[in-house]
C-alpha cells in the first residue's frame, strides 16, 4: 500500500511538471495526432470534441501570450479523465483486425 501511494505521488508530480495542465489541457489533448488518433477524434461526441477544441485554442492563445491560467483553473490530476481512450482503443482494435484479415 505504501508503494502505491508513493507511485501515485510521483505520477501527480510528473503530471504537474509536464505543464500542459497549467494551460488548461488534459492528457488526451496532447496526444500526437497519428491516423488512429485522427479517426478516434472523428468518433468523439460533438460536445467532447468542442470542449477539446476550446481547450486547445485557449492553450495556444495563452502560449502566444507567454501566460498560464490562474492556479485555480489548472486541470488537476484527479479531474483529468482519458476521454479519448475508449474511442482510440476501438480504432486500434479495428485496425489490427483489418491488418490480420488482410494477411490471410
Decide: 60 and 20 in contact? Cβ < 8 Å.
no
| Domain encompassing residue 37 | 2-103
Residue by residue, what is the 3-state secondary structure of the chain?
CHHHHHHHHHHHHHHHHHCHHHHCCCHHHHCCCCHHHHHHHHHCCHHHHHHHHHHHHHHHHHHHCCCCCCHHHCCCHHHCCCCCHHHHHHHHHHHHHHHHHHHC
Tens digits of pLDDT across the chain (104 residues): 567 889 999 999 999 999 999 999 999 999 999 999 999 999 999 999 999 999 999 999 999 999 999 999 999 999 999 999 999 999 999 999 999 999 87
Identify the residue whose cell numbers are 500526437.
32
Total structural domains within the chain: 1
pTM of the model: 0.86
**CATH at residue 81:** 1.10.1090.10
Amino acid at each position: 500500500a505504501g508503494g502505491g501511494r508513493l507511485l501515485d505521488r510521483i505520477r501527480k508530480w510528473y503530471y504537474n511538471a509536464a505543464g500542459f495542465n497549467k494551460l488548461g489541457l488534459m492528457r488526451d489533448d496532447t496526444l500526437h495526432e497519428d491516423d488512429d488518433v485522427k479517426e478516434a477524434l472523428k468518433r468523439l461526441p460533438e460536445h467532447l470534441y468542442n470542449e477539446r477544441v476550446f481547450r486547445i485554442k485557449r492553450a495556444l492563445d495563452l502560449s502566444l501570450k507567454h501566460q498560464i491560467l490562474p492556479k485555480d483553473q489548472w486541470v488537476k490530476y484527479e479531474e483529468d479523465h482519458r476521454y479519448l481512450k475508449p474511442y482510440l482503443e476501438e480504432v486500434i482494435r479495428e485496425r489490427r483486425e483489418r491488418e490480420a484479415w488482410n494477411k490471410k
